[in-house]
Structure 1
Amino acid sequence: MAQTVPEAIKRTATAGERLLFHTLKNYLPDDYLVYYEPEIHGRRPDFVIIGPDLGLIVLEVKDWTIGTIVQATKDEWTIFGKNQQQAFEKNPYKKAEEFTFHIMNFLKQDTNLIQTEGRNMHKLKFPCGYGAVFTRLHTTDMTKHSLYNVISPQFCLARNEIDPDNEDFSEEVLIEKIINMFKIPFRLREPLSNADINAIRGNLLPEVRISADYREPVPHQDQILLSMHNLKTMDIHQENYAKNIGDKNRLIRGVAGSGKTLILATRAVLLARENPDWNILVLCYNISLSRYLQQLIDIKVKEVQQEGEQASLFEPDEEQTPEGKIDVYNFHSLLKNKLKVIEQQLPNLIETLKSNNQLIEKYDAVLIDEGQDFKQEWLQLVSYLLNPSTQSLLLVEDRAQEIYKRKRTYVQDTGLNFQGRSKILSINYRNTQQIVRFAWEFYQRNSTLKDKVVEQGFEGEIIAPKATPRKGPEPFIYKTNNFKDEMQKVSQIIKKLHEKEKVPYDEMVILYRVKRLSSKDYIGTIQHTLKQQDIPHYWISENPESKRNYVKNDQQVKISTIESSKGLDFQAVFIVNVDNMPFFLEEDENREASLLYIAMTRAHKYLSLSYSGESKFTEYLDEIKGELKKEKRDSV
């Protein structure tokens, strides 16, 4: 069974499109991707098929009957349209050809997808084909009415070739015809790799891009320049979530690293594109996360605008749709800058709004990231900000990352019922298998909330992470005599990762629990050591201003509290001074376990935990170190 985007075809699709969708889904190989009406740089082909041993195929679908067709030539068909008026349509095969050339022009811009040597140098390293599908014409109709004279049988599919209920249908014939829809025979010597397929998807469908290295704008350029050499793409299920969340109120509950923030940002831009007159609000708790969300949304908006500019080269008469307005705030900035109140005035404001909620500006859509951090009153305020006619509220949360004691019930607080309107993301895509296993085992051992862990659920439960597709090194645990030695070790590893593994400085972060304690100046030691080693660095959590000015891609190692790192991620994470956890002034040990779990799951590939004293958590780490040493000895 092939993977499809969307997972289910929309109700407005024609009967023929629905038939073809289900046939392709059920009869093509498991590693094939089938897109229905994807928007590709301003164009919408009916179907695009991508297969590792196939390449790329574009299909144009027509539900015409013989009675619909007046005349057919190789270039143009005359048909009976609405009210039986004659209309002129481009030959469906020619239309599919145009879509294909349009797609190829974009793909050739990615050097990872073209051949670098030989007589086919600068051409795509995989074939692109195209064809037409006539869902209400049989092969006998095509023969009898000489339609094969204007479209070769090689490049079209008829009803009996796509309908499994037809006695002439054959799975082998269907696949053989699709495989041969190439004007120039071109067979792949080796199947396309996952990286190749992800590059194709990422280039054709920019909203599936998770991240790409980009340079800051230079003075004469008013845009962010993207480099596609480090392109990463969303898993097929995440892509479907972003595009098919559904309307009105929705809840997404996911484990750390499941792509919640990326889905939310993508969803915001999709809503803005589809509803250009809407006012859209994106909310979170952390200042640094709001800054990251703004950057992520800005990149995606730029991509959509560039799509429109490029599409206008092909369709110059088509009016370009402006983007909707997207406001991004952390909650307290919303109060201060938008509503002109402080949190202490919130109860009075809510009471006033209960009697007259027209006093406040409405948003047509509200999207909340890290919803587990929101208080009951905050959600009540959101309910008054939301346009009651749209009810488009998206809440994204992970209860395992809850570090603030929040009492709330979504139904009561927002007036919206999320039962049956929630999705669960249990697969971690950010971290490696080693990091996921390490972090989750720690959480289960050290949090008393482990009894609330479930595989599926609605409100209040914690979701256990499932398998992650990536592998990497085991987390590095080490103990030193003092914090100064600890930071010397950290700086050595940072240098090594940067110089030997080519990890950019801005893809590394040092996370700490407390900056100072009695006579110990932890943050001072961190900064002094990095400066001594000529390692550029930026202290995110120094003050509110430094959080607001946070830019990830600035070639500097980041320094942050664990709280301010929520929602962020890096290739390498260094959690220092773990012996200060659980923090002795914190009564809620579950909060401390959640904090360390959050810190661990910020890491894509490299995770380091270091300490120079003792605590309940370091005792656990000592135990893990001993087990790892024993496993290593036993394997020798």
Structure 2
Amino acid sequence: MPRFISPPLNQFDKLRQPLTDGERIVFELFNAHLPIEWEIYIQPHLNGLRPDFVLLHPKVGVAVFEVKDWDLRAMKYEVKERTGKSPVLIAEKDGKHFSLQNENPIEKVYRYKQEIHELYCPRIDGKAGFAAITAGVIFPFAADGSIKNLFSNSLRYRGMDQWPQYNPVTGADSVQSRNILAVFPECVRKHSKFMSNDLAKDLRNWLVEPDFAATQRQPLELDRIQLSFVKTRTKSGYRRIKGPAGSGKSLILAARAAELLGEGKNVLVVTFNITLLHYLMDIAVRWPQSRGKTRKDITWLNFHFWCKRVCQENDCEEEYKNLWSEDKNKHKVLSVDLPDLVASILDDPHCTANSYDAVLVDEGQDFMPPWWNVLRKVCKKDGEMLLVADATQDIYGTANSWTDEAMIGAGFPGGRWAELKISYRLPTLALEYCRKFAEQFLPKETVDLPVSEQSELNLYPCTLKWVHTKMELVAQVCREELFALAVDAEPDLVSIPDITFLSDTHKRGIGVICELGAKGVKSCHTFSEDTRESRRKKMGFYMGDARIKATTLHSFKGWESRAIVIFIGRSIEKKSLALIYTGLTRLKRHTEGSYLTIISCAEDLIPYGKAWPKYVEKMA
């Protein structure tokens, strides 16, 4: 039986955060000398923490290791005791002293050990269970004695010096002599009364590499039609593409942006949704021609921020601010006043705004024709404009503004949209229920139903669950279902950081985040009653974060995940129905299973929910 290693050994050279020289040496030591039953996890996502190594044996225990490549001769290091606080790590170089306490490896592994005991192994046996957890520090390029002397105060303060077999601190002497017993004394133990298969299951969901991390190493795969859109342009330079959820619209747009960048073109990518930008950036870097430059060399902005930048850079900041006075109609400001102001600035011969060889707009159904037309002003002569859209996901009621007349006025010649039909994102079972929802609840004139890939067969298993509850229980039920999702996936593994919670409102989302926080589970979320704070959080929302993800249905538009829990309130008017459909279509297929749980308080949706493979009512 081969050793379980996550990420797999053949992927090491493709890691976004490559192993350091010291980490490679330590991995080779572990892999060569540990009993085969020890699983090795490299840089796992642990609730916002990223230790270098975690080792797991279902009969023995778990070990977490921090590796430091430091050369202690490069600077003078000292650990000073403090009254009432942990000793502080100080470095001195060129006569200057500075704190390295944030990098103190003893404090890091102590925190890892505490969290593993309290959060990741809730079934472990009280304080005695600490004996099943090793927390070690390894310095591959510094002498053992120097390391132990340097950190003696830190070890003593945390009581770790009393149990050296569970808190090993080693250096180059032990590593170079391949002394695995010094580096990890507990590795030879055959069993522990504090460890079990159930505890190992608790941990694996936290330790296994998330799907989003593995996906980032895979080059984009496009079908013949998608590839033709990436590799070509129309004679006029204007192209519009429509297609259902999961048909590859965003893939085409991001790949086209990277392709144009590779040709030396200056590219602007614009969305309405702030959070969607991170998703598009993550796609673009996977295009082979991107050469890793897409994040910094392509301009990625949401439309509102682009408008604000144009105003600020052209000394019209006051005019911009005046648009948002309290007595103004916000819809009119967005649809008329803001684009008019920006258009007037761009038409001024003294305007200093950047122009681009290509302007690409994603989720075009969220845009209004005046927004598109003002963007055309920064596209160079003979440049390229791309609009991709799905009217079925019309959550803002703007799709109907794109009439045939408006299209011609927006620079598009007569004729049909370029169309995509096949959904490559959704597993077949989920696609079936998305189609049923659209057919039952959405306006027929805007519905563009996804079609499954004929060759897919049943390669992508899918678990669908509908939970009906009442408002008073929402936060509790959402928390329960988020925790249950990983358990329900057994024997398959769902990485905790892959789990995504989507709410229809900020208020309900905050309640669920508080419920998770009370259990020690951290989250990367965008919820806030304050608009500015929410916007700031959206700018920092990305799937690569090491925590559970949580945001609104609006903000997750365009994204995808293999494990989703969605909350739906009582309201199911026209826009909210389109929003629910959008949420349903965020599920990503996966060979090891996809999981979608809906938690609903909407009485009108009960008949639809009861048709799901699993329907549950939680009313008490």
Q: Which interval holds the TM-score relative to the shorter structure?
A: 0.5 to 0.7
- Going from structure 1 to structure 2, the CA distance change for 1:418 and 1:216 (only over 3 Å counts) comes to farther
CA shift in 2, pair 1:573/1:611, >3 Å: closer
Match of 1:425 among 413, 420, 438: 420
1:540 matches 2:495? no
Aligned to 2:261: 272
- Assess, with a 3 A threshold, how the Cα gap between structure 1 residues 547 and 111 changes in structure 2: closer, same or farther: closer
**For 2:505 and 2:350, how far apart are their aligned partners in 1?**
42
Aligned pairs for 1:422-501 within 5 A: 422-447=417-442, 449-450=443-444, 452=445, 461-468=446-453, 469=456, 470-480=459-469, 482-496=473-487, 500-501=491-492
Match of 1:363 in 2: 356
The answer to whether residue 500 in structure 2 is matched with residue 529 in structure 1 is no
Residues 369 and 406 in structure 2, CA contact (< 8 A), matched pair in contact too: no
CA deviation after TM superposition for structure 1 residue 384, in Å: 1.0
1:393 positional shift: 0.4
The C-alpha deviation readout for 1:351-393, integer Å capped at 9, x for no partner, is: 5656769764321100000011012221120121111222x00
Aligned counterparts of 1:477 and 1:305: Cα–Cα separation in 2: 41
Match of 1:617 among 605, 614, 617: 605
What is the match of residue 149 of structure 1?
Answer: none
The 1-side partners of 2:545 and 2:502 are apart by 18
- Unaligned stretches of 5+ residues in structure 2: 1-8, 14-49, 53-66, 70-211, 321-333, 529-533
Does the 8 A contact of 1:375 with 1:408 survive in 2? yes
Q: 2:394 aligns with which of 395, 402, 410?
A: 402
Quote the Cα distance in structure 2 between the aligned partners of 1:297 and 1:370: 16
The answer for unaligned runs of 5 or more in structure 1 is 1-107, 113-214, 307-321, 453-460, 517-521, 583-588, 630-636
Q: What TM-score results when the alignment is normalised by the length of structure 2? A: 0.54
Contact preservation (8 Å) 2:363, 2:388: yes
The 3-state SS of whatever aligns with 2:462 is coil
Q: CA deviation at 1:424?
A: 0.7
Alpha carbons 1:581, 1:617 under 8 Å: kept: no
Q: 1:347 to 1:479 in 2, by over 3 A?
A: same
1:425: Cα distance to partner?
Answer: 0.9
Determine if contact 1:579/1:615 at 8 Å carries over to the other structure. no
Q: Does the aligned pair in 2 maintain the 1:570–1:603 contact within 8 Å?
A: yes
The amino acid across from 1:435 in the alignment is: A
Q: Using the alignment, how far apart are the partners of 1:445 and 1:580 within structure 2?
A: 18
Residue pair 2:564, 2:596 contacting (<8 A) in 1 also: yes
User: Could you report, residue by residue, the CA deviation over 1:226-258 in whole angstroms, capped at 9, with x for unpaired residues?
Assistant: 868973752423334322354611111111011
8 Å contact 1:504–1:555 — kept in the other structure?
no
* Correspondence list, 1:385-400, <5 A: 385-390=378-383, 392-400=384-392
Q: Please give the alpha-carbon distance, in whole angstroms, between the structure 2 residues aligned to 1:361 and 1:239.
A: 29
Contact 2:438 2:447 in 1 (8 A): no
Shift of residue 109 of structure 1? 7.1
**Alpha-carbon spacing, 1:496–1:535, altered in 2? closer, same or farther (3 Å):** farther
**Does 1:561 pair with 2:552?**
yes
* Counterparts in 2 of 1:410 and 1:289: CA distance versus 1, 3 Å: farther
Question: Counterparts of 1:501 and 1:581 in 2: how far apart (Å)?
Answer: 35
- Counterpart residue number, 1:335: 307
Cα distance in 1 for partners of 2:216, 2:558 equals 24
1:381 aligns with 2:368: no
Return the alpha-carbon distance in structure 1 between the equivalents of residues 272 and 495 of structure 2: 28
CA distance in 1, matches of 2:565, 2:438: 18
Find out whether 1:243 has 2:231 as its counterpart: yes
CA RMSD of aligned residues (A): 3.7
Could you tell me which residue of structure 2 aligns to residue 257 of structure 1? 246
Q: Which residue in 1 is equivalent to 2:269?
A: 282
The 1:480/1:296 distance shift into structure 2, 3 A limit, reads: same
Aligned counterpart, 1:580: 570
In structure 2, the CA distance between the partners of 1:524 and 1:326, relative to structure 1 (3 Å rule), is closer
- Secondary structure (helix, strand or coil) at the match of 2:291 reads helix
Offset at residue 556 of structure 1 (A)? 1.3
- Conserved? CA contact 2:241–2:420, under 8 Å: yes
Q: Distance in 2 between matches of 1:261 and 1:279?
A: 19
Distance verdict in 2 for CA 1:345–1:239, change over 3 Å: closer
Correspondence 1:225-244 to 2 at 5 A: 231=218, 233-237=220-224, 238-244=226-232
Q: Measure how far apart 1:622 and its partner are.
A: 3.2
How far apart are the structure 1 equivalents of 2:599 and 2:241?
36
Measured at CA, do residues 345 and 601 of structure 1 come closer, stay the same or move farther in structure 2, by a change above 3 Å? closer
SS of match in other structure, 1:595: helix
CA contact (8 A) 2:481 2:597 kept: no
Alignment-derived partner of residue 328 in structure 2? none
> Could you tell me how far 1:504 is from its partner in structure 2?
2.0
Contact map agreement 2:502 2:509 (CA 8 A) in 1: no
Find the residue that maps to 2:380 and give its secondary structure. Answer: coil
TM-score normalised to the size of structure 1?
A: 0.53
Instruction: Look up the SS of the partner of 2:356 in the other structure.
Output: coil
Overall identity of the aligned pairs, in %: 22
Instruction: Provide closer, same or farther for how the CA distance between residues 552 and 474 of structure 1 changes in structure 2, counting only shifts above 3 A.
Output: closer
Displacement of 1:593: 1.4
Q: Which amino acid aligns with 1:423?
A: A
Alignment of 1:95-106 (within 5 A): none
2:558 is aligned with what amino acid? Answer: G
Paired positions, count: 375
Give the 3 Å change call, closer, same or farther, for CA 463–357 of structure 1 in structure 2.
farther
Give the structure, 1 or 2, with the largest relative contact order (CA under 8 Å, sep 6 or more).
Answer: 2
Offset of 1:420 from its aligned partner?
4.4
Structure 1 residues 390-443: Cα deviation after superposition (integer angstroms, max 9, x where no partner): 2x0011110001111222447646541244474211111111011111011111
Sort the Cα spacing of 1:552 and 1:625 in 2 relative to 1 into closer, same or farther, 3 A: closer
Secondary structure of the equivalent of 2:422? coil
* Aligned-partner Cα distance in 1 for 2:490–2:514: 21
SS at match of 1:463: coil
- For the residues of structure 1 that align with 2:489 and 2:511, how far apart are their CA atoms? 21
Could you give the per-residue CA deviations for residues 123-182 of structure 1, whole angstroms, max 9, x where no partner exists? xxxxxxxxxxxxxxxxxxxxxxxxxxxxxxxxxxxxxxxxxxxxxxxxxxxxxxxxxxxx
Give the whole-Å Cα distance in 2 for the aligned partners of 1:539 and 1:229: 21
Cα distance change on mapping 1:500 and 1:528 into 2, 3 Å: farther
**Are 2:579 and 1:595 aligned?**
yes
The one-letter code matched in structure 1 to 2:511 is: T
What SS is found at the alignment partner of 2:588? strand
Change (3 A) 1:216 1:435: farther
